[in-house]
Each structure stands twice: as structure tokens, then as C-alpha cells.
């Protein structure tokens, strides 16, 4: 029984060495080869899991007095398997980051480009805000000019007064809404 276990151990060692080698090469391969390598590593990880299951079954059949040594080995193999899976996930993330960068044309200067776009948009937003504030002031002043004559005519035409007040309210709402829209647009992600 222990000879079966040792055979599985040798197979596991060879397989994990191959997996480790392939995982380290994944991020540096061209896209087509990366896909094939990722699929191959996934297949080999499944084989390694099956080997661990076989080894675990063998350990369960070993007499209790000898089982302790094999159990310790199994724990270390399971830890090694977990490390391989973690490394593979990291390798795939690096792979997906590279693919994303290739698709988006990210050349490493994107943060500088984004910063420049953000500064430009901030300046535009400030200019627009100043214009909106000036427009709002004009609307308020116009409203003050419109409201007193309407107050004089209030006893004749309450409708005229309510329409003037409604116009002032609408203008106030529009200018405030535009400021919020400009702020929202400035905070949108920038496209290169």
C-alpha cells in the first residue's frame, strides 16, 4: 500500500513541477498560446486533485500506527496544491489584465492622460459653473424686476403674479439642475 502511495507521490511531484513551470510562463505568452496554456494548466490541476484524492484514500487504508507520517505528507501536498491554485489565479489575473490593456490600448501613460483629461474637464466645469452662476444672478435680478410690477397688478391679475413666480422658480430649478448635470459629467470615467 505504501508503494502505491509513493508512486502517487512521484506522479504528484512531476505534475506539480510541470504546473509550476507552465504557470510562470502564462503571462509572457502570446494571446493564442496563453489560452491553450491556461486550458492545459486547468486540466493538469484537475489531475493533481485526483492524485491527491487517490493518495488520501491510500492513507485511510494504512494502519493507524503508520498513518501519522502519511497524514503529515498529505497536509503538505494539499497546501502545495492550494498554493498552485492561488498562483494560477494570479497568473490568470495578470493574463486578463494584459488582455484588457491590449483591448483598451492601455500603454502605461493612461494615468497621465487621464489626469490631463481630468484637469481639462475640471477647468471646463469651473468655467461653466461661473457662467451658470452669472446666469442665475441675472435670472434672480430679472425676477426681482418682474415681481414688483406684478405685485402692483396683483389685485387685477393673480394669474400673472403666479406665472411670474412660477417662471422664477423654473429658472432657479433649471440652473441648479444644470450645475448637478455638469458635476455628474465631470465625474464620469474618461475615455482615451
Rounded mean pLDDT of 22-38?
A: 83
Cell numbers placing 142:
430679472
Number of Cβ within a 10 Å radius of residue 11: 15
Query: pLDDT for 112-124, tens place per residue?
Result: 777 777 777 888 8
Mean pLDDT of the residues in the chain: 76
CA pair distance 164, 139, nearest whole angstrom: 12
Q: CA 150 → CA 13, 52, 136, 137, 160, distances in Å? A: 93, 89, 20, 20, 7
Higher pLDDT, 117 or 19: 19
- Residue 104: the pLDDT is 61
Closest Cα to residue 79, out of 12, 28, 151? Answer: 12
Q: Model pTM?
A: 0.49
- Residue 44: the pLDDT is 92
Q: With cut-offs at 50, 70 and 90, classify the pLDDT of residue 42.
A: very high
Q: With cut-offs at 50, 70 and 90, classify the pLDDT of residue 97.
A: low
CA pair distance 60, 112, nearest whole angstrom: 59
**Residue 64 pLDDT > 70, yes or no?**
yes
Any idea of the CA torsion for 103, 94, 50, 82, to the nearest 10 degrees? -150
3-class secondary structure, 188? coil
Higher pLDDT, 112 or 107: 112
Amino acid at each position: 500500500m505504501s508503494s502505491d502511495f509513493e508512486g502517487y507521490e512521484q506522479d504528484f511531484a512531476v505534475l506539480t513541477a510541470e504546473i509550476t513551470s507552465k504557470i510562470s510562463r502564462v503571462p509572457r505568452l502570446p494571446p493564442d498560446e496563453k489560452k491553450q496554456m491556461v486550458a492545459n494548466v486547468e486540466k493538469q490541476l484537475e489531475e493533481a486533485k485526483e492524485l491527491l484524492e487517490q493518495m488520501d484514500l491510500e492513507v485511510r487504508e494504512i494502519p493507524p500506527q503508520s498513518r501519522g507520517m502519511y497524514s503529515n505528507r498529505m497536509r503538505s501536498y494539499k497546501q502545495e496544491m492550494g498554493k498552485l491554485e492561488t498562483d494560477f489565479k494570479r497568473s490568470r489575473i495578470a493574463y486578463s489584465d494584459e488582455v484588457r490593456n491590449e483591448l483598451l490600448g492601455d500603454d502605461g501613460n493612461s494615468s497621465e492622460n487621464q489626469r490631463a483629461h481630468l484637469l481639462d474637464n475640471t477647468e471646463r466645469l469651473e468655467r461653466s459653473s461661473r457662467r451658470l452662476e452669472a446666469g442665475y444672478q441675472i435670472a434672480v435680478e430679472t425676477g426681482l424686476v418682474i415681481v414688483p410690477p406684478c405685485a402692483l397688478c396683483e389685485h387685477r391679475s393673480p394669474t400673472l403674479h403666479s406665472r411670474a413666480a412660477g417662471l422664477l422658480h423654473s429658472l432657479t430649478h433649471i440652473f441648479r439642475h444644470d450645475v448637478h448635470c455638469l458635476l455628474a459629467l465631470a465625474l464620469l470615467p474618461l475615455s482615451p
